[in-house]
A and B are shown apart, each in its own frame.
Chain A
Amino acid sequence: MVERQSPLEPEFHVGSHGNFEHGVEILLTETRPGSIVQLAAWPGEEKKLMAAIRTVTGLALPDGAGGGLSDGVKSVFGFAPGKFTVADDAEGLAAAFAKVVTPDIGTVTDLSHGRTAIRIAGPKAEWVLAKFFAIDFALPAFPIGAGRSTAHHDVFAQIQRTGSDQFDIHVFRSFARSFWNALCHASEEVGYEVQ
């Protein structure tokens, strides 16, 4: 299969950058999942959709707004009432869901090319993200696995916490390079490494 081109390519400079006075406190990378799928249930069908998600991914979603989880390969979180984002390192997630999410449950929308997943990790991850998003990133308020719908530069974005100091940010592909540049810029003061 032909490899997908990253929208970050010309601005993706592997290595260390910024102010290293206190060492590198941010790690930035693009996770490049094989599949990103949006699932949406009709009102009242949410539980069935969550069951379908478990069938396909093995991930049992918790109840509640923004709930989610990740096993390191697959991840899922709710980003709106009855709506979920699912990502998988492997391709083919949309086709797999198309078999189990019947029209009476909801819809499956393949966004594997349309969204870019950027990972920010490190002890200063919350600090840098606070420059962009009016979200409480403290662990009790934003637990591991949970997701949030938000916006960068007034453009819709989603964030999932995949570790105590690790976040995966899903942004529109066409804006990804701008966001990446802004993220690198904001990370300069604490020192960052692109991996």
Chain B
Amino acid sequence: MSPRRTDTGGRIDRLKTIRFTFDGVAYTGHAGDTLASALLAKGVTLFGRSFKYHRPRGLLTAGVEEPNALVTVLKGEVREPNIPATMVEIHDGLVAISQNRFPSLAWDIHAANQLGGKILSAGFYYKTFMGPVIGPLKGTRFWMFCEHFIRRAAGLGSAGSAKDPARYERMNAFCDVLVVGSGPAGLMAAKAAADQGARVILADLEPRFGGSANWSDETIDGTPATDWVRRTVAQLEGRDNVRLLPRTTVWGYYDNNTLAALERVSDHKEQPAKGEPRHRYWAIRARSVVLATGAFERPLVFPGNDRPGVMLAHAAERYANEFGVLPGDRIALFTNNDSAYRAAVALKKAGAAVVAIADVRPELSAEMRSLATEAEAEIFAGHAVVATEGGKTLSGIKVQRFDMVTGALTGDARSIHADCLLMSGGWSPTIHLASQAGAKAEWDAARQAFLPPKPTQQWPTQQWIGAGAFTGSFSTVEAIAEGRAAGLAAAGGTGTPAALPIVEAVPGEPDPAPVFEIRAKGKSFVDFQHDVTAEDVRLAHREGFVSVEHLKRYTTLGMATDQGKSSNVPGLAIMAEALGKPIPEVGTTRFRPPFAPVSIGSLAAERFGDLKPERLTPMHDWHVDHGATLYSAGLWYRPMIYGHAGETVEQAYVREARATRESAGIVDVSTLGKIAVQGPDAAAFLDRVYTNMFSTLAVGKARYGLMLREDGFAFDDGTTWRLGEQDFLMTTTTANAGKVMQHLEYFLDVIWPELKVHVTSVTDEWAGAAIGGPKARQILAACVTGTSVDNAALPFMGIVHGEIAGVPVMICRLSFSGEMAFEVYCGAGHGTHVWEALIEAGKPFGLVTYGLEALGTMRIEKGHVTGAEIDGRTTARDLHLDWMLSKKKPFIGSAMMDREGLVASDRLELVGLIALDNRPLNGGSHIVEEIDEANPHGSIGHITACCYSPALGKHIALALVKGGKARHGTRAHVSDPLRSRFGPVEIVSNHFYDPEGTRMHG
């Protein structure tokens, strides 16, 4: 008979039936089942196909380390591959499918790969897919050709492409003590630390707290260990200073005791509750950490050890005791240590027949013989399993006399009928997090395992304390004692003598025999997930790979989703034997995060899609309500055009720009960076920051300023307004506001800390509207009170204070459009109010709203520069702004701006272009002297900005061209092969429109 549900027992709720499907077949299980336990209870033993050979594979484990039984879980269109069936909690409606098989799990065409035999050994790809030296598939092309087929033939599950609608969140947590793992050691640590008043977080990757107590069948304080767990968890739940995190995998240990954890909040539910995330990424900052992460049981390496029906001994014990599932009816065991005997007794109790125990040790203790007798198992001491029989399920095993010192097999093999083989090759403490934290693992010859180093007490180099099986103390008695001590120490408490819970457990010595492999004929798997055999490891050695790091990369041992949790130590032992060195001399690899796979969604959390921050001006809603087409400029949203029905973008901006030049236009300039520069040294500071002088600026006046970087290149420009003797309002370009702020703070904090200057971002304090055009002053005069706006009161670059519609405003007369223009600033909360008042006042004058396209058009007509020209590669001279370079004072960049390369005559300089074929130009197009469409070459520059100019009635552009002014009046060509735009242009001054500035100055 195959695996089945026991009649009683287990921590499942037998009254609650759950319905789910696997590979399209409907199954039922019980609340508390994993997909693995529920399928096993229904007799399913085939869970997957191996990576390379497509060998049939069953369950090896019952936990997170499962290498074989990887499934894909489907939720609607979304598929999540490579989840261990042992970690999937079943729920109504769960849909899971197997992976890496075609056409079905039972009949997989790629199983033919097994016929490849030794050809498909380690290094197969490297050796086989070297391309020929000539021909169409030479070099890597051959590999690229083969890759398509290889990827179909080998691998794990495939990721989906549907958008994941699930919610993911990030949480920050702080605690005095983080306890990782909730077995007896972890529970005791959490309780001890909590009793000291410490803030404690207890995290466990399983849904049930208790770890091994859930399946050990031991008693604690005279009651089943599970009852002790329930009582202890209830005590912890009742405390304000404890946070319990079940289903939470602590996967990363970073500097300063920052740990990363993934909580699977609603994967086990049919539907998450409203607002509930699927996963929560916890960033936990802990004063100290208790690592009570237990240990992983190791497989033994022998031929046929990967056949479905062969699993780890403790896994079978767990299926029986925790899930009420027998993994087989006739069960054999193969072990090198005592711990498997407890599994034999447990399975016998659960109703299975334990037909044999093969133990590599020739001498067994009386206690083990007694346990074997209790399990009614025949003992084969000094024997090893040398083969398994059957197809996709196990039907029997062969055992043979084995000398554990020499590894020799003698005598005849004996066949034993069994449908399940349990193996135990000893235990490896789960030291991953300690390793991530920098701990160097130490080989313990007795335990035959890498253990974490003993605590050094050298705070803060070691901020964690280990307890229980993590330290190599495999008994529950030791776990409880160490857990309590660790909890106390982590909380900074002192160890007052206290009675510890009394544990009754089956006897057993913790030390295994030093046997990892039985060398017999047939494929013996070391890494089940990546199909790495013992022979692959030896092959790597024969081919010269002596470093464990090289071994890992050549054979891929220890890679993939399970990261070698069950294979690292056996692989290392086999390599050590091949090298003739002891294991500690071969060393081990350093574990890196994550301990287990982490969903990308949880790392991204809420920082995507609709929840990406948007930056809105005070008048944003008005723009939307009045037909503006918005586009993003950095994080800001700005109106591009206010289009009329049926208008193209070009028609809209041409209309807006033309109307502005003919009457008046208004644009939202709230996005300009605004920085308050305040203090007694503010003027002196600005003299150093800008290329031109600001200390001479009168209060109530503004000045256009240019900044250079320290290396002498142009950095940013804008106007700065002197509002008081020690009070300036600096404006920057929208895009550079943050950079300029950092620039100013850097110089104040690091270079000139003696200056009494404070800088504060006030971008959001002010709403700004620029109103320009021949009728702009009339419009202001119609709505501004408290001040005159005539030329005497408000000359060019003058500032006045007044009111519009009852709101205080500050008006500066300056122009970007080239028209008579004014910037009206008011408190941001009054922005829309003032904007609407200006619109109303402008109605009789034909005022139009205009967007960035029209703004750009008018600035190109005027030849003003923006970030397109101040691109980090241009100098003030390149942009014809050398008139702003003061010779009376030093300033940032002045020492470097005259370097030979920055004053060379062949530099690109700002010019204007007019299309002579009356066709639109393209930004980024090259400028060439002679056109050659077939072989574009000879670029002398490029276009930075272009538009159709309503003022000129031509397609024009600004460009950076070698020679600059010297080429004015000459002809060239645009060469844009990507967009097939070639054509003649005339090079002219960048000042296309009103170069004398008569319109602006009025």
Interface residues, chain A, CB within 8 Å of chain B?
1-2, 4-7, 9-10, 18-19, 21, 38, 40, 42, 103-104, 106-107, 109-115, 130-131, 133-136, 138, 141, 152-153, 155, 172-175, 177-179, 181-182, 185-190
State the 8 A-B residue pairs at the shortest beta-carbon distance, nearest first.
A188-B275, A4-B829, A114-B765, A189-B275, A113-B827, A136-B174, A114-B764, A19-B274
**Which of B283, B621, B764: most chain A Cβ within 10 A?**
B764
- Neighbour of A114 across the interface among B199, B285, B679, B828, CB < 8 A: B828
A153 to B275 alpha-carbon distance, docked (Å): 20
Q: Kindly identify which residue among A1, A130, A182 contacts B611, using a CB–CB cutoff of 8 Å.
A: A182
Does B276 have its Cβ within 8 Å of any Cβ on chain A? yes
Q: Which of B616, B756, B766 sits near A113, CB closer than 8 Å?
A: B766
Cβ contact within 8 Å between B618 and A111: no
Q: How far is the CB of A186 from chain B (nearest CB, A)?
A: 7
Which B residue sits closest to A154, measured CB to CB?
A: B613
Query: Which residues B265-282 have CB closer than 8 A to chain A?
Result: 273-277
Measuring CB to CB, which residues of chain B are less than 8 angstroms from any residue of chain A?
169-174, 199, 273-277, 283, 285, 606-607, 610-618, 621, 635-636, 676, 678-680, 726, 756, 758, 760-767, 805-807, 827-833
Whole-angstrom CA separation of A190 from B277 in the bound complex = 12
- Whether A110 and B765, one on each chain, are in contact in the complex, defined by CB atoms closer than 8 angstroms, is yes
A134 is contacted by which of B283, B621, B635, B829 (Cβ under 8 Å)? Answer: B283
Is A174's CB under 8 angstroms from B611's CB? no
Which residues of the other chain, A, contact B273 by a CB distance below 8 angstroms?
Answer: 19, 21, 189
Interchain CA distance A173-B828 in the complex, whole Å: 8
Q: Judge whether B275 and A107 touch: CB under 8 Å.
A: no
| B171 engages A130 (CB within 8 Å) | yes
Contacting residues, chain B, for A42 (C-beta < 8 A) = 679, 756
Contact B678–A7 (Cβ < 8 Å): no
Residue contacts A-B, CB under 8 angstroms, 27 given: A2-B806, A4-B829, A5-B829, A5-B833, A10-B621, A19-B273, A42-B756, A107-B678, A109-B762, A112-B827, A112-B829, A113-B764, A114-B762, A130-B173, A134-B283, A135-B172, A136-B174, A155-B613, A173-B618, A173-B764, A173-B828, A177-B614, A178-B612, A182-B613, A185-B275, A185-B611, A189-B273
What A residues does B169 contact at CB under 8 A?
131, 186
Residues of B close to A178: CB separation below 8 A: 611-616
Contacts of A110 in B (CB 8 A): 765
Q: Which residue of B lies closest to A106 (CB)?
A: B758
Using CB atoms, name the residue of chain A closest to B671: A174
CA distance A99 to B701 in the complex (A): 24
Q: What are the residues of chain A within 8 A of B172 when measuring CB–CB?
A: 130-131, 133-135
Taking the closest CB of chain B, its distance from the CB of A55, in whole angstroms, is: 20
Contacts of A173 in B (CB 8 A): 618, 764-765, 828-829
A10 to B285 Cα, complex, angstroms: 38
Find B613's partner among A2, A19, A113, A153 (CB 8 Å cutoff). Answer: A153
Q: Are A114 and B763 in contact, with the CB atoms below 8 A?
A: yes
A186 — which chain B residues lie within 8 A by C-beta? 169, 606
CA distance A135 to B171 in the complex (A): 10
Bound: A56/B758 CA distance, A: 22
B616→A7 contact, CB < 8 A: yes
Q: Report which of B174, B613, B764 forms a contact with A138, defined as CB distance below 8 A.
A: B174
Partner of A2, one of B635, B765, B830: B830
B669 CB to nearest A CB, Å: 13
Contacts of B276 in A (CB 8 A): 19, 189
Residues of B within 8 A of A111 (CB): 760, 762, 764-765
**Cβ–Cβ contact B765 & A190, under 8 A:** no
* Residue ID in chain B nearest A156 by CB atoms: B761
Q: Is the CB of B277 within 8 A of A189?
A: yes
Beta-carbon nearest neighbor of B807 in chain A: A2
Residues of B near A153 (CB, < 8 A) are: 607, 612-613
For the complex formed, measure the closest distance between the CB of A97 and the CB atoms of chain B, giving whole angstroms.
13
CA distance A107 to B827 in the complex (A): 19
Query: Given known contacts A7-B618, A113-B830, A182-B606, is B758 in contact with A40 (CB within 8 Å)?
Result: yes
**A114: B residues at CB distance < 8 A:** 762-766, 828
Q: Is the CB of A4 within 8 A of B758?
A: no
Q: B764 to A38, Cβ gap below 8 A? A: no
**Of B171, B275, B606, B766, which contacts A19 at CB under 8 A?**
B275
> Which residues in A have their C-beta under 8 angstroms from that of B606?
131, 182, 185-186
Best-buried of A110, A111, A189 by chain B (most CB within 10 Å) = A189
- A185 and chain B: residue at smallest CB distance: B611
Q: How far is the CB of B632 from chain A (nearest CB, A)?
A: 13
Tell which of A1, A38, A138 touches B760, judged by Cβ atoms closer than 8 Å: A38
Please name all residues of chain B whose beta carbon is closer than 8 Å to the beta carbon of A141 when the two chains form the complex.
174
